[in-house]
Amino acid sequence: MKNSISWMRVVVLFFIVLGLMEFFIDSGDKPAVIAYPMTQLFLVLVLLLLIGIELILQAVENVMFQTLSPEAKERYLATKSESKGWKWGSKTYQKLLGSKPIEAEEEIILDHNYDGIRELDNKLPPWWVYMFYATIIFGVIYLVRFHILNDYNQDLEYEQEVAAARIEIEEYKKNAKDLVDINTVELFTETADITAGKTIFESNCVACHMADGGGGIGPNLTDDYWILGGGIKNVFNTISEGGRDGKGMVAWKQILKPVEMAQVASYILTEINGTTPANLKAAEGELWLDPETEGQEVIEQAKDSVTVASPTATETVQ
């Protein structure tokens, strides 16, 4: 008897399971099969199970078939070969093609005869005609919506997408503090970050910079004079890459995480910088002016505070 496993059924069921799995498992950006390799094993099991079920069904059908009388066998085969779904499918397919079967071509043949070449008066295939109607409907709706009602245009669409993307980037940045580097680092202002920075400073940096930032082996961190540049970017860079060779300031990027370096840099700039410690090491380096707030006032103030804090500073600094 003609009886093959329904591979179609196996494939369809398999993809339904796969689809359901992807739908229900929350795996972020990646598909679940990649995010959780265990699911691959699960899918293989599902596939084996489906094949197994098909094999069993086939075996059962075989056994049943053998028990039938010859007439019953014939009847069974007849009904099977024209099972409903298949019949409906092939009928609609024929309808959509709209072509006459070869036996019926006599009905549509035209009188023209070009040296034995003759012409059939075929109808336009319905699949093509329906598609053509669909484009007309689409065209009308489009015309009314965008040229009469002015629903939205490309500019608006673009702006909306950019705005949405900006929000997404902000969200992403919030959750991905560890991604900061010299190009993206910004001054943290949240108390949690500053407190974390303080802890890091106290456990790693006080030996050379003192708890109040007054300086020791390392320079003071309280004034506006910086050897390696002020501002969050430079300070972050100094902490990450270390100071000049042989001066004693190591590159902390091996020890601290990027976010920790940003936290301690923010702590220095917000809590330590600008204070007047008891033992202040003389200013070293150059006066740093924030390029964004640069102005006469800032320069005056900065010079004043240095002269007051340490009279010797004027010699080291020009």
Q: Which residues bind ligand HEC (CB under 6 A)?
A: 201, 204-205, 207-209, 217-219, 221, 226-228, 235, 238-239, 243-244, 247-249, 252, 264, 268, 285
32 vs 228, which CB is nearer to ligand HEC? 228
**Count of beta carbons in the 10 Å neighbourhood of residue 62:** 11
Shortest Cβ distance from residue 179 to ligand HEC (Å)?
20
Chain position whose Cβ is nearest to ligand HEC: 243
* 209 vs 282, beta carbon nearer ligand HEC: 209
* Minimum distance from residue 18 beta carbon to ligand HEC (Å): 50
Amino acid identity, residue 176?
A
Closer residue to ligand HEC (CB): 135 or 203: 203
Three-state DSSP class for residue 248: coil
**Hey, what amino acid is at 16?**
I
Q: Give the nearer residue to ligand HEC in terms of CB position, either 21 or 225.
A: 225
**Other CB atoms within 10 A of residue 217 CB:** 12
What DSSP assignment string belongs to 161-212?
A: HHHHHHHHHHHHHHH-GGG--TTT-----SHHHHHHHHHHHHHHTHHHH-TT
Both structure tokens of 60 = 């059962």
What's the chain's length in residues? 318
Q: Cβ 257 to ligand HEC, closest distance in Å?
A: 12
Q: Minimal distance in Å, beta carbon 49 to ligand HEC?
A: 58
CB of 222 to ligand HEC, least distance (A): 10
Query: From the CB of 253, what's the least distance to ligand HEC, in Å?
Result: 10
Name the H helices within the chain.
Answer: 7-24, 32-35, 38-66, 70-81, 84-97, 126-142, 154-175, 191-204, 206-209, 231-241, 258-267, 296-309, 313-316
Of 243 and 277, the one with the shorter C-beta distance to ligand HEC is: 243
Specify the residue, 188 or 201, whose C-beta has the smaller distance to ligand HEC.
Answer: 201
Query: Does residue 269 contact residue 232 with C-beta atoms inside 8 Å?
Result: yes
**How far apart are CB 211 and ligand HEC at their closest, in Å?**
12
> Tokens in use for 159?
């702006």
Q: 149 in helix, strand or coil?
A: coil
With respect to ligand HEC, which residue has the nearer C-beta, 228 or 280? 228
Minimal distance, residue 273 CB to ligand HEC, in Å: 10
Of 125 and 216, nearer to ligand HEC (C-beta) is: 216
d(CA 44, CA 37): 11
Please give the distance of CA 81 from its chain centroid, rounded to a whole number.
50
State the burial class of residue 278 (Cβ atoms within 10 Å of its Cβ: 0-12, 13-18, 19+): exposed
